[in-house]
Amino acid sequence: MRRRQILAACLATGALLTATTVVPVETAQAAPPSGSSSASTAVATPGTGITVSTNFTGLLGLLSPILSGVVTPLINTVGSLPSQLLTTVAQAIGTVGLTATNTVNALVPPANGLATCGQAGWNTTNCYGPVLPAISLPPLLSLGTGISQGFAAVSSSGYIARSQIANPDISLLGIDIGDLGVIGGQATCGSTSGTCASQDTFTGASLFGGVIRLQLANGSNLLQVSIENGPWVSVPSLSGSLQQVNDLLGLDSNHDILSIAANGGLLTIQGKLDLDALLGGLGLGGLLNGISGLVDVGTVGELTLTVGPGSTVTSNSAQAWGLELGVDLSGEISLSLLGGLAGLDVKLPSHITPTSNGNLLDLKLGYSNANTGTLPPSTTQWVPPGLT
């Protein structure tokens, strides 16, 4: 009897061994990746802000109606512009932006171009587009309808993000600036310091009806400009010299002069606005109706755009944006009441410095970012479960 029991047990054990299959497991529990990558249609940061200054002359009492009906709305409107623009841009791109951080499962990014969202592991977390974002705050700002796409990933070779927006059209203060071309940025980082790199793409910008065209030189981040269908010239070679283009904005000929100059590797475009254009662009077109005929008004308004590609690379991170757009508004409105018995100057100071591209808004289009960190395992080894 006991021999039969032993034999049955042996047969059962053999059957169990025969039925056991080898299942895949990882040889070790690897720590999750610690780097990051992200991409977005645009990243906006506020300008330095505008601090309006006023200077009174003559009889201050005569200016009370002007102060309450003209100056106060102007100061309040101008002072709130940076936050309005920033909020509008942030809300518009909020559903389009992309962030992929510490991705556990490695994805193989496309060698060129953009990932196809919804396929092969690309989902709403690590991929977006094609979409048509629209940023609108009339008459201050309008940006659309360029096709936007991007992805962010981590693979066994490193972290990578790539973003592109194609042919967005922009208007500022009611002025149609034009088609910004095809804009893109790529940022990559490996697992160790010193392995980060960035790359910009930017072609085909046509501003002010084609009067100004912009592109990058082949194989570099060097911005080139062509004015009135002239030859392509690298922006740094302008050496700070100004080129005047008259009647470009379609405004009064006395105030419609555009200055074009180099600002390092970026291009600065400055247009002078008459009073109607300045107030209309601020949404204050009827501001002076109540004092018409009583006050002599003079103004010099300037809208300055700083455009060009940008990137930053350190040993541990990389950021790239195909096009940066800095917006600066400045000017002086002078009011003279009853032949000079009372006067008022309202000044809107410019703020373009080596560290600031304007007082209203700094907009980076086609933005990508990557940071170094440990990578996911590149292979999976298959072993029987009893050996783990």
Task: Give the distance from CA 31 to its chain's centroid.
Answer: 34
Q: Could you tell me which residues come within 8 angstroms of residue 106 by beta carbon, excluding any fewer than 6 positions away? A: 153, 154, 155, 156, 375, 376, 377, 378
> Using CA atoms, how far apart are residues 377 and 76, in angstroms rounded to an integer?
56
The answer to pTM > 0.75 is yes
**Is residue 93 a contact partner of residue 47, using CB atoms and an 8 Å limit?**
no
Q: Could you give the 3-state DSSP secondary structure of residue 314?
A: coil
pLDDT tens-digit map of 322-378: 999 999 989 888 877 777 777 778 888 888 888 888 888 899 999 999 999 988 875
* Residue 12 phi, psi dihedral angles, 5° rounding: -65, -40
Q: Which two tokens stand for residue 344?
A: 């008022």
Residue 103's pLDDT is what?
66
> What residue type is 96 in one-letter code?
V
Nearest in space to 90 (alpha carbons), one of 375, 362, 378, 382? 362
pLDDT tens-digit map of 154-200: 888 899 999 999 998 988 888 888 999 999 999 999 998 889 999 99
> pLDDT band for position 53 (50/70/90)?
confident
| Peptide bond just before 32 cis, omega within 30 deg | no
> pLDDT band for position 251 (50/70/90)?
very low
> Using CA atoms, how far apart are residues 302 and 386, in angstroms rounded to an integer?
76
**Is residue 329 a contact partner of residue 348, using CB atoms and an 8 Å limit?**
yes
Residue 222: how many CB atoms within 10 A of its CB?
A: 16
**Is residue 337 a contact partner of residue 343, using CB atoms and an 8 Å limit?**
yes
**Is residue 233 a contact partner of residue 241, using CB atoms and an 8 Å limit?**
no
pLDDT tens-digit map of 91-147: 776 655 556 665 667 788 998 899 999 988 898 888 988 888 778 888 888 888 788
Total H helices, total E strands in the chain: 4, 25
Q: pLDDT exceeding 90 applies to what percent of the chain?
A: 22
